Structure formats: C-alpha cells, structure tokens
C-alpha cells in the first residue's frame, strides 16, 4: 500500500496533467496495475471486521456449547451445568482444548446475552418532583407487646420534593385501616397533598389500568379523595418504580425505626414513638439540596391543600346474620353476640380497630376490638435461652433482653457470668413446663425453699433472692398479682 503523498502525486499526474497510465508508471517507477488502481479507482475506507479465531469459533465446539447454554437457561439455576461439567462433557466428545478455553468462551457468550438484554431495558427519566405531591405504601414490621411479637402494617407517606416521610401504624391493610391511616398522615403533615400516588392495593383499587383503560377506584376511596380534594394516581401493574421514593422510604423506616423491634403498650404508644423518630429524622439535611428536611416541609406546605373542617368518618356498614349458636362472623371469626339469633338481619359496622353489631331497631348488641387486634406470636424463649446458656456473657447485650419480664430481667442482670449461667440454666429447665410469663408471675413458687438455700446442683435455683424488696418497687398491679400468688 502506497503512502498518501505518493497516492496524491499519482492522482495529480492523472487528473491535472492528463498523463496516461503508462507515462505515470515510467515517471513514478510503480507497476502499471498499481498506478491504475490509485489513479482511476476510488480509495474509500472500509470497516474492518475481525473474525474470532480458535477451535471454539472455527470448529463445531462453540456451537455445541452455545446449544447447551441455551438449553440450560430454561432451567432453574441449581439445575444448570457449570463450567466444569460442560468441559467434562466436551472431553467425552473428544474436545482437544483446555478448561480455560471453555471458560473464556462461556464468559463471552454470557456477556453477549446480557448486552442483548440491555437493549430492551426501559429507560427511566430523572424527574423533577414538584412540591405537595406524595406517594404512599404499606410496609410490614414487628413490635413487642405484652411479651409477644406482633405484626404491624405501617402506612408510609413520602414527599419526594422534601424527602420527608411520615408513618402511622395499623393492624391490617383493609379499606378502613387505609383510609384511617391517610387521615392520620394528613394531620401529621398539616395539609393535604395535591396528588397522591399509590399502587393497586385492594383497599383503593377495583381494577388496575391496562389495555387502554383507566384505573377504577373503589367508591369509598373516591368519596374520601373527593372530601379531601386530592387527585389519586395509581401505578401501572408491576411498575413499582413509579413510586420508587416511597418504596425506599418504607425500607428506611423499617431499618431505622423498627430495628430492633420496639416494646410498646398499644398503637397509641407506638404512634408517639414513631412521631419522635420522624421529628428527629426531619432535622437532617436533604441529600441533594443541602437544606434541612423540616425547612423544605414548611416550604412545601404552602403548595398543599387545606385540611377540611370536618374529618371524614371512616367505617364500613354491611349486613350480617347470626347462626343458631348466636354467633356473628367478624373478619372471618365467629363472635358470640347475645340475643342476636332473634333477628334475621343485623347491621355490622366495622372501624379500623373495632366493630359494632346493631339490631334492625338500632339497639347495640355487641361491641369490641376487631379480631386482628389480638393477633400475636410468641417469642421463642426456649431457643433464645438455649443460646444464652452457651454464651451467658451476651445475655444483657442481646436484642431480646429488653423483652424479658421485669423480674426475669432483674434476675439475670448481674456481673457474675458463672452465676448468670446457672440462673439461665434454671430458667431454661422451667421453660420446658411453663411459659416465661408464668415463671415471672410465680417466680419463687416453683422451687422449694430448701433447694434454693442449699443450691447443691446447677439445675436448682442458683441464688436465694429476697423478692419482697424488688416487689415493693413495682406498681400496684404487680402487688395485686403477688397477692393472688
């Protein structure tokens, strides 16, 4: 190939001097075919496509492995052949190459499939969030109440403009809880957001959008939205990214407000704890704007809607009937309602936390908490104390230590590790027959006094404690319980 100055010289002689190919060949010393090529033909650049070489590309081995990989992609991960297995099967077919050659080919094949899939990924545009627009979603976490685990459905409302988050605890995710939770969150914010984005939860949506049709909201939710004046916006099905801000905020609340699980008295107490957490969280600066979240919230409030003078009453009325045993089903649980069998039809009124059964004459026949208010799970104290027996030093630092009943916690909160280990073993022995609450309430009734005093073996009561001094410091309720003992 000639250099560009030589090519330009040939073209100059041919086009500007009008010399023949023979004459140019004599002057330049290049052969006739070379002069003809550069004088009369266009020299356009051509893209170079390098072909991969090697036995995996030039022979059939690459096609065999590709077929195997395509076949395995239809299976679960644990059922697919790994690189070593593929190499062994190739060797059985007479493959002359090395294991590294096969691994390199598989890596390139997988990367090509990833790049191919990336071409079909949906692009997301970074949006500028206007003020007074909110997103809402549920998140499930747990608390400890009366010595037992209890699942709590937290309704979280996030504001992308200010990065603020508000949360209210609820016992379920039904319509009554959802609307009552929105009321509480609006009151916490001090205004109503103009737009509220939510997913297609059954408490608000009858039919999700699709096939060119808009979302169909429940009548109760439409009435609620009309009363407060906000515009509901439902996400497309399986498009959680459309409310990604609240999705992240739910995780933030779970890991920062509920780890470890807080000890509560009731939902009111939990709401107070969460209010303290959110107020503290709003003092941090915005991750991008550098302004405190609380200050951005005050600015955002100017763009919101005013709260209505009359709050929306949240309840649901349904017709019910009693069976021959005088039982009415509330949330699928049969509850005995006196004199209910005298009436063919009853009115069941459900609120987020309680129910009422009313006769056709307006007489209140029964009232009480909804069944899910009492749903709880036992703390696995047997397995916890088993671990504590192996590592008694970790007892007072354990996440479960704050959940212990008062007497048991006081009993194990000592400096001597050996004595603590003996006490853990003694309680562990009792847990095979009694619950931890029973052991706490009847603490010194299970072991004879002489066994406590002698302390001859490790399974007996390790130390003779004067519990009357401890009980004198407790509230009246503990004294009453002790009197019953």
Is residue 35 domain-shared with residue 81, that is, in the same domain? no
Is residue 369 domain-shared with residue 390, that is, in the same domain? no
Query: Strands 195-198 and 133-145: what pairing?
Result: parallel
Q: Please state, in angstroms and rounded to a whole number, the distance separating the CA atoms of residues 149 and 380.
A: 10
Is the pLDDT at 26 greater than 80? The verdict is: yes
Q: What's the pLDDT at 268?
A: 92
- Report the share of the chain in percent with pLDDT over 70: 83
Q: What's the pLDDT at 25?
A: 87
Is the pLDDT at 148 greater than 80? The verdict is: yes
CA nearest to 330, candidates 348, 310, 305, 316 = 348
Is residue 368 domain-shared with residue 447, that is, in the same domain? no
pLDDT tens sequence across 33-56:
888 888 877 665 666 556 677 788
Do the Cβ atoms of 379 and 385 come closer than 8 Å?
A: no
Is residue 102 domain-shared with residue 223, that is, in the same domain? no
Q: What's the pLDDT at 111?
A: 86
Is residue 421 domain-shared with residue 336, that is, in the same domain? no
CA nearest to 347, candidates 324, 321, 373, 384 = 321
Q: Comparing 120 with 474, which gets the higher pLDDT? A: 474
Q: Where are the alpha helices (DSSP H) in 320-364?
A: none
pLDDT tens sequence across 420-467:
999 899 899 888 888 888 888 877 665 445 434 434 444 445 545 555
pLDDT tens sequence across 257-275:
887 788 999 999 999 999 9
Residue 122 lies in a domain: no
pLDDT tens sequence across 185-207:
999 999 999 999 998 888 888 88
- Report the share of the chain in percent with pLDDT over 90: 34
Least confident of 136-140, 156-160, 453-457: 453-457
DSSP code of residue 127: P
Is residue 446 domain-shared with residue 421, that is, in the same domain? yes
Do the Cβ atoms of 440 and 407 come closer than 8 Å?
A: yes
Burial readout 299-326 (b: 16 or more C-beta within 10 A, e: otherwise): ebeeebeebeeeebebbeeeebebeeeb
3-state secondary structure of 230: coil
Q: What's the pLDDT at 314?
A: 94
58-69 mean pLDDT? 84
Q: What's the pLDDT at 120?
A: 41
Is the pLDDT at 340 greater than 80? The verdict is: yes
Residue 151 lies in a domain: yes
DSSP code of residue 213: B
Residue 360 lies in a domain: yes
Q: What's the pLDDT at 480?
A: 39
Q: What's the pLDDT at 126?
A: 44
318 Cα distance to chain centroid:
33
| Most confident residue range from 36-45, 134-143, 209-218 | 134-143
469-480 mean pLDDT? 49
CA dihedral 192, 198, 200, 204 (to 10 degrees): -10
Least confident of 50-59, 84-93, 379-388, 428-437: 50-59
Residue 428 lies in a domain: yes
Residue 50 lies in a domain: no
Q: Which residues, 6+ apart, have CB-to-CB distance to 412 below 8 Å? A: 395, 396, 401, 404, 420, 423, 424, 427
Residue 157 lies in a domain: yes
| Most confident residue range from 50-54, 155-159, 231-235 | 155-159
DSSP code of residue 465: -
pLDDT band at 59 (very low <50, low <70, confident <90, very high): confident
CA nearest to 40, candidates 4, 65, 13 = 13
Q: What's the pLDDT at 453?
A: 42
pLDDT band at 318 (very low <50, low <70, confident <90, very high): very high
Do the Cβ atoms of 79 and 42 come closer than 8 Å?
A: no
3-state secondary structure of 354: strand
Is the pLDDT at 76 greater than 90? The verdict is: no
Burial readout 120-147 (b: 16 or more C-beta within 10 A, e: otherwise): eeeeeeeeeeebbbbbbbbbebbbbbeb
Do the Cβ atoms of 335 and 328 come closer than 8 Å?
A: yes
Domain end, chosen from 272, 301, 330, is at 301
356-362 mean pLDDT? 91
- Residue 348 is inside which H or E element, if any? strand 346-350
Is residue 366 domain-shared with residue 450, that is, in the same domain? no
CA nearest to 4, candidates 33, 41, 43, 48 = 43
115-122 mean pLDDT? 51
CA dihedral 84, 89, 95, 99 (to 10 degrees): 0
Q: What's the pLDDT at 28?
A: 86
Q: Please state, in angstroms and rounded to a whole number, the distance separating the CA atoms of residues 463 and 455.
A: 7
Q: What is the CATH number of the domain that holds 285?
A: 3.30.420.10
Q: Please state, in angstroms and rounded to a whole number, the distance separating the CA atoms of residues 270 and 268.
A: 5
**How many structural domains are present in the chain?**
5
CA nearest to 198, candidates 145, 257, 136, 128 = 136
Q: What's the pLDDT at 475?
A: 53
Is residue 202 domain-shared with residue 243, that is, in the same domain? yes
Is the pLDDT at 322 greater than 80? The verdict is: yes
Mean pLDDT of the chain, nearest integer: 82
170 Cα distance to chain centroid:
17
Q: Please state, in angstroms and rounded to a whole number, the distance separating the CA atoms of residues 252 and 170.
A: 18
Is the pLDDT at 357 greater than 90? The verdict is: yes
Residue 227 lies in a domain: yes
Is residue 160 domain-shared with residue 291, that is, in the same domain? yes
294-303 mean pLDDT? 91
Q: What's the pLDDT at 478?
A: 41
Is residue 195 domain-shared with residue 276, that is, in the same domain? yes
Is residue 168 domain-shared with residue 257, that is, in the same domain? yes
225 is in which domain, residue-wise? Answer: 133-301
391-413 mean pLDDT? 86
Q: What's the pLDDT at 452?
A: 46
Q: What's the pLDDT at 81?
A: 81
Is residue 435 domain-shared with residue 359, that is, in the same domain? no
Residue 311 lies in a domain: no
- For 114-269, strand residue ranges (E) read 133-145, 148-159, 164-170, 195-198, 205-207, 216-217, 231-234, 263-264
C-alpha torsion sign, points 11, 17, 19, 23 = negative
């Amino acid at each position: 190939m000639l250099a560009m100055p030589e090519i330009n010289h040939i073209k100059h002689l041919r086009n500007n001097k009008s010399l023949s190919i023979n004459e140019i060949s004599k002057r330049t010393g290049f052969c006739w075919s070379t002069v003809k090529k550069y004088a009369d033909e266009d020299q356009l650049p051509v893209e170079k496509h390098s072909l991969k070489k090697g036995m995996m590309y030039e022979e059939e081995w690459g096609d065999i492995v590709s077929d195997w990989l395509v076949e395995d992609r239809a299976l679960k991960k644990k059922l697919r052949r790994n690189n070593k297995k593929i190499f062994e099967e190739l060797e059985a077919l007479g493959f002359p190459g090395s294991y590294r050659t096969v691994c390199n080919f598989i890596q390139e094949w997988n990367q090509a499939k990833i790049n191919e899939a990336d071409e079909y990924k949906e692009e997301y545009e970074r949006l500028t969030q206007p003020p007074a627009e909110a997103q809402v979603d549920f998140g499930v976490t747990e608390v400890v109440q009366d010595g037992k685990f209890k699942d709590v459905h937290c309704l979280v409302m996030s504001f992308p403009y200010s990065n603020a988050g508000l949360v209210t605890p609820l016992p379920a995710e039904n319509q009554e809880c959802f609307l009552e939770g929105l009321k509480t969150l609006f009151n916490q914010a001090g205004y109503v957001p103009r737009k509220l984005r939510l997913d297609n939860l059954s408490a608000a949506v009858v039919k999700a959008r699709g096939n060119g049709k808009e979302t169909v909201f429940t009548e109760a939710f439409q009435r609620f939205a009309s009363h407060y004046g906000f515009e509901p916006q439902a996400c497309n099905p399986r498009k959680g990214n459309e409310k990604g801000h609240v999705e992240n905020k739910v995780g933030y609340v779970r890991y920062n407000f509920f780890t470890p699980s807080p000890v509560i008295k009731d939902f009111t107490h939990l709401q107070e704890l969460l209010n303290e957490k959110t107020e503290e969280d709003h003092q941090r600066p915005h991750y991008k704007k550098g302004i405190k979240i609380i200050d951005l919230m005050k600015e955002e409030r100017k763009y919101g809607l005013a709260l209505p003078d009359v709050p929306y009453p949240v309840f649901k009325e349904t017709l019910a009937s009693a069976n021959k045993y005088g039982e009415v089903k509330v949330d699928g649980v049969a509850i005995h309602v006196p004199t209910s069998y005298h009436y063919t039809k009853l009115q069941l009124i459900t609120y987020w936390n309680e129910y009422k059964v009313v006769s056709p004459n307006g007489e209140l026949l029964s009232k009480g908490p909804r069944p899910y208010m009492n749903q709880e799970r036992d703390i696995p104290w047997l397995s916890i104390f088993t671990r504590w027996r192996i590592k008694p030093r970790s007892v007072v630092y354990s996440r479960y230590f704050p959940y212990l009943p008062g007497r048991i916690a006081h009993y194990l909160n000592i400096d001597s590790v050996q004595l603590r280990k003996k006490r853990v073993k003694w309680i562990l022995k009792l847990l095979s027959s009694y619950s931890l609450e029973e052991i706490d309430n009847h603490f010194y009734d299970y072991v004879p006094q002489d066994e406590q005093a002698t302390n001859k073996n490790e399974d007996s009561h390790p130390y003779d404690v004067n519990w009357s001094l401890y009980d004198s410091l407790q509230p009246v309720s503990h004294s009453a319980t002790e009197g019953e003992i």
